[in-house]
Amino acid sequence: MSENKLSPAELARYSRHIIIPEFGREGQEKLKNARVLVIGSGGLGSPLLLYLAAAGVGHLGIVDFDVVDDSNLQRQVLFTVDNVGESKAQTAKKRLLALNPHINITVHETMFTKDNALDIIKDYDVVADGTDNFPTRYLVNDACVLTGKTNVYASIYRFEGQVSVFNYPLENGERGPNYRDLFPAPPPPGLVPSCAEGGVLGVLPGIIGSMQASEVIKVITGVGEPLAGRLFLFDAASFTTRVLKVAKNPETNITELINYEQFCGIFPDKKENTVKEITVQELESMVNLKEDFQLIDVREPYEYDIANLEGELIPLAQVATSTSKIAKDKKVIVHCRSGKRSADAIRELEQLGFDNLYNLKGGILAYAKEIDTSMPTY
């Protein structure tokens, strides 16, 4: 790869970096010649991309297939209300180039899968994982191990955040610990909710995403000591931090990409794991015809307060202990925000003998989009 030198305009722009003795012009030119892939442009991706672009990383890749939603704006600072409904990746590219026209950006507006991961990653030097689900985290990790790329990892949940640097090249020629050395197996499905289900303090991704950007810069420039072999933990509620050592596990052996949904206990395409469904239009018809059915809402109370269909509130965690509240002699419609938690609730209840349960396809989001457009979403 041919190296590009800094232009006079860039020398002036990055002067606050260059005057740091340990950083200097050499460090800035390393940033200019680096290629960093950021997977996800949401909560973590927003500050991560903003600071990497501002710092002068010469080529950024963005992997994201989602669109901007109102509920993103509480924490995803790349976007504004004018961007709602637009492509996150394309919007991010426009915003970042407005911040720094001296960089290049490649958009990968696609889902990151085992079929395209290796092909996407191969053209980059460092990968920064800003995802929010376990299948993709394991996929990112394994793809980085197989392609010899450093994986700068971060995650957030409610008030807590984590940062580490995985698969970092060591002086002895080996690679440091990777994500599987820390977490050999994922938690059981449903044990750790997503941000949409469990919530996240709006400023937390800004804090953790900025730390993630700092680690990327350290990895590229060689300035400082990256968090390789260490896991940084931050609790915003108590403002406490911890750093844990991460050791290599000799039993960790990554030879190929696998079915990560299956590995994490998620079987979206398995026939035996499907549940009966009805559409929001069918539910509306049942209401208008005054049919006898029970409507169960398995979201959390705060979600119910934002928008509800006047169903009986039984949060997912309480479903198994609330079977006496659920009818067995008539049709029961179960719903949540998107249809995922309600499907999980139905599978759990079917194990307890229920066979009259129907999932509301698309949940509150589908109802707000297709039936009552005045209903607030989140």
Residues taking part in catalysis:
195, 336
Per-residue DSSP letter, 46: H
Report how far Cα 157 is from the mean position of its chain's Cα atoms: 11
Strand 126-129 versus strand 150-157 pairing type: parallel
Per-residue DSSP letter, 292: -
Cα 310 from Cα 366, distance rounded (Å): 16
Cα 349 from Cα 322, distance rounded (Å): 10
Any long-range contacts for 242-250 (C-beta under 8 Å, 24+ apart)? 246/164, 246/177, 246/181, 246/182, 247/177, 247/181, 248/176, 248/177, 248/181, 249/177, 249/180, 249/181, 249/184
Write the burial class of residue 210 (CB in 10 Å: 0-12 exposed, 13-18 middle, 19+ buried): middle
Cα 374 from Cα 358, distance rounded (Å): 25
Cα 154 from Cα 313, distance rounded (Å): 34
Any long-range contacts for 21-29 (C-beta under 8 Å, 24+ apart)? 22/223, 22/224, 23/221, 23/223, 27/221, 27/222, 27/223, 28/56, 29/3, 29/4, 29/5
Q: What share of the chain is helix, strand, coil (3-state, %, to 5)?
A: 40, 20, 45
CA distances, 308 to each of 230, 311, 330, 377 (Å): 44, 7, 22, 10
Cα 11 from Cα 135, distance rounded (Å): 42
The answer to whether the beta carbons of residues 308 and 295 sit under 8 Å apart is: no
* Gyration radius of the chain over CA positions: 23
